[in-house]
Structure 1
C-alpha cells in the first residue's frame, strides 16, 4: 500500500514542476511597457495588470513549492522508514494521521497553485489582448475558455482526491512508529 502512496506523491511533484515552469514563463511577460494587441489605446492594461501578474505568479509558485515540499517530505519519510524493514517492501511504519494530513496538504497546495496560476494568466491576457472591462472580444473569449477548462479540471481533481481520500483504507498501513 505504501508504494501506491509514493507513486501518487511522485505524480504530484512532477505536475507541480510543470506548473512551476509555466509560472516562470508568466513572469517573463511582466515587463513594464508591454503593449496590447488590441487596436484601441483605451483597452491597454494599466500598471495594475503587471503588478497583479507578479503577485499571482509569486502566490502560484509558493503554493506549488509548498505542495511539492510536503509531498517530498512524505516520500522521504516513507522511504526512510521503509528501509528499516527490508522484508516488507510495500509497508512502512508511518503514522496514518501524518500521511493523511500531508496528502491533503499537498493536494490543497496544488489546487491553490492552479487557482493563482489561472488568475495570473488572466492578467497576461489583459496585458496582451486588452482589458476585460473594455470588452476586448479576444480577451473575454480566452478568459472564458480558460476559466471553464481550469475550473472543470479543478472540480474533477478535487472530487477524485476527496473520493480517493475517503475510500482509502489507511488501516492497512502499519501505524506503529518505530
Structure 2
C-alpha cells in the first residue's frame, strides 16, 4: 500500500518541470499575440477605411469600433491566460523551494493544476477567437465589406478563417488529448 502512495507522489512530481515548460510556452505565445493586438489597435483608424468606388461597400466607423472592442477583449483573454500560467509557475517554484535537493520536482495538487491549465487554455483559445474576429473586420476595413463579394476580401478572410480555425481545432484536440491520457 505504501508503495502505491510513493509511486503516485513520484509520478506527480516528475511531471512538474514539464508543466512549467508548457506554461512558459503558453506565456510566450500569448506575448506574441498580445503584440499583434497592439499593432492592430495602432493601425486601426478612420483614415484606414477602404476607398471602393461603391460607398455601400466601404466599412463604417462602427466596424472600426468593433475592431477596437474585439482587440481589447482579445488582449484581456491573453492577459488572463498569461497571469494564470504565471501564477501556476510561481506556486510550483515556491513548492520546489521547500526541497532544495529536488529542484525540478514538486508535489502539487493535480486538481488545482488541471483547473489552472484548463483556464490557461480557455483564455488562449478565446483570445485567438476574438483576435480572429478583429482581423476579419480589419480585412473588411482595408479591402471592402464581405457582403459586396470582393475577390480579395473573400480570399483573405477564407485563408484566415481556415488556417486559424484548423490550428485552433488542433490546439483544442491536443488539450483534450493531454487531459484524457
Give per-residue Cα distances to partners, 1:75-118, cap 9 Å, x unaligned: 00000110111122232132111100000100110000000000
RMSD over equivalenced CA pairs, Å: 1.1
Higher helix share: 2
Equivalence for 2:70: 56
Q: How does 1:77-96 map to 2 (within 5 A)?
A: 77-96=91-110
Structure 2 residue corresponding to 1:126, chosen from 123, 128, 140: 140
Higher Cα Rg: structure 1 or 2? 2
Aligned-pair CA distance for 1:68: 0.2
Give per-residue Cα distances to partners, 1:45-84, cap 9 Å, x unaligned: 0111101101100110000000000000000000011011
Aligned-pair CA distance for 1:11: 0.1
Q: Which runs of 5+ in 1 are unaligned?
A: 168-178
Equivalence for 1:105: 119
Q: Which runs of 5+ in 2 are unaligned?
A: 1-14
Equivalence for 2:150: 136
Q: How does 1:1-40 map to 2 (within 5 A)?
A: 1-36=15-50, 38-40=52-54
Alignment partner of 2:146: what SS?
Answer: coil
TM-score by length of 1: 0.90
Q: How does 1:137-152 map to 2 (within 5 A)?
A: 137-152=151-166
